[in-house]
């Protein structure tokens, strides 16, 4: 396999195991590139990419922009807060206007689940989903898998626990699809109110006790409580959540083996994870950020390479 089976990266659900492996293998080459004295390659110099962020983002947006610049693509940025979206323009109109300026690829984050899929049916450009509501965040799942593969080798049979706000997390869903396609076992852990009702139908196990989940896993992916998406109270207080589902150094050190700690960011230090855990040698949070650029370069390189 030397090419992707899809024209857009809309979600991990829509791509195959071979696609994932191709992206991760290509990302290995790009990781070498971004550690060179000159970190730039001319592959996408004839491509223009629009970054459309209808929702706030720091890491993903910077990471995509860096990836585009290191591939020598031309980049235009757009954020909803300073645009005509406020004046009532629809998504398709906004994007078509941008495409009329001859843009080849669109990287989009949107608050509505399915926004990327919708767009891919309406416009003639390669679409990369950078997060659509609580649906998918495929590049995050790919960089998580890349980071785990770097530490653990082949992920087949490895055990990964995803802890926290599963209900509102697009990272959780994409991670579940990605890890399962790579043959890993996934367990989700969190307060019952934050676990989606039918999540077991995806083939993941549910655990409500954090210690048990951590004892079981090789990697723990700690998610943030997404207060901005919670319209009602899902647990009595943040302090109670931290007591039951926060990861601190004592708990980590008391486990029978050394597990790897991941976090997609942004971290709420002292809530889902304490500072000494986030900064410990078991944490690969900053590796994830570095790998994010390489993985996004691979995704855009492979999509642009399709005729």
Name the site residues for other proteins (rule: CB under 8 A): 2-3, 26, 29, 32-33, 36-38, 40-43, 71, 301, 304-305, 307
Burial of 245 per CB tally in 10 Å (0-12, 13-18, 19+): buried
> Nearest distance from residue 1's CB to other proteins, in Å?
9
C-alpha dihedral sign at 23, 221, 214, 169: negative
> Nearest distance from residue 66's CB to other proteins, in Å?
16
3-state secondary structure of 162: strand
Specify whether the CB–CB gap between 226 and 165 falls below 8 A: yes
With vertex at residue 132, the alpha carbon angle to CA 128 and CA 134, rounded to the nearest 5 degrees, is 145
> Nearest distance from residue 38's CB to other proteins, in Å?
4
Specify whether the CB–CB gap between 116 and 108 falls below 8 A: yes
Report the residue number, 43 or 174, with the smaller CB distance to other proteins: 43
3-state secondary structure of 254: coil
> Nearest distance from residue 131's CB to other proteins, in Å?
27
Number of neighbouring beta carbons within 10 Å of residue 6: 17
> Nearest distance from residue 95's CB to other proteins, in Å?
23
Report the residue number, 43 or 288, with the smaller CB distance to other proteins: 43
> Nearest distance from residue 43's CB to other proteins, in Å?
5
> Nearest distance from residue 44's CB to other proteins, in Å?
9
Alpha-carbon distances of 116 from 10, 113, 135, 144, 188, rounded to whole Å? 6, 8, 10, 21, 26
Report the residue number, 34 or 251, with the smaller CB distance to other proteins: 34
**Which long-range contacts does 150-156 make (Cβ < 8 Å, 24+ apart)?**
150/287, 150/291, 151/219, 151/260, 151/284, 152/218, 152/219, 152/260, 154/183, 155/179, 155/182, 155/183, 155/184, 156/182, 156/183, 156/184
For residue 274, the Cα-to-chain-centroid distance in whole angstroms is: 22
> At a CB cut-off of 8 Å and minimum separation 6, what does 152 contact?
158, 218, 219, 260
């Amino acid at each position: 396999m030397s090419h992707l089976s899809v024209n857009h990266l809309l979600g991990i659900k829509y791509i195959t195991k071979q696609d994932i492996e191709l992206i991760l293998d290509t990302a290995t080459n790009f990781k070498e590139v971004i550690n060179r004295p000159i970190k730039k390659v001319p592959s996408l110099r004839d491509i223009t990419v629009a970054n459309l962020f209808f929702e706030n983002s720091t890491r993903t947006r910077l990471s995509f922009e860096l990836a585009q610049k290191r591939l020598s693509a031309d980049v235009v940025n757009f954020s909803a807060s300073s645009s005509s979206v406020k004046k009532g323009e629809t998504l398709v109109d906004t994007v078509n206007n941008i495409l009329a300026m001859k843009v080849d690829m669109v990287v989009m984050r949107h608050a509505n689940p399915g926004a990327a899929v919708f767009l891919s049916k309406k416009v003639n450009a390669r679409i990369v989903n950078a997060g659509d509501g609580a649906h998918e965040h495929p590049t995050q799942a790919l960089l998580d898998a890349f980071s785990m593969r770097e530490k653990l080798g082949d992920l087949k049979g490895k055990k990964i626990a995803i802890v926290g706000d599963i209900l509102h997390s697009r990272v959780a869903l994409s991670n579940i699809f990605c890890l399962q396609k790579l043959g890993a076992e996934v367990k989700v852990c969190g307060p019952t109110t934050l676990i989606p009702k039918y999540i077991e139908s995806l083939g993941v196990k549910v655990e409500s006790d954090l210690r048990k989940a951590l004892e079981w896993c090789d990697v723990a992916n700690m998610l943030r409580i997404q207060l901005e998406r919670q319209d009602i109270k899902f647990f009595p207080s943040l302090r109670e959540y931290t007591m039951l589902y926060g990861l601190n150094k004592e708990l980590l050190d008391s486990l029978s083996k050394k597990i790897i700690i991941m976090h997609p960011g942004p971290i709420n230090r002292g809530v889902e994870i304490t500072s000494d855990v986030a900064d410990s040698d078991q944490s690969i949070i900053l590796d994830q950020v570095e790998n994010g650029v390489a993985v996004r370069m691979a995704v855009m390189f492979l999509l642009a390479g399709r005729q």
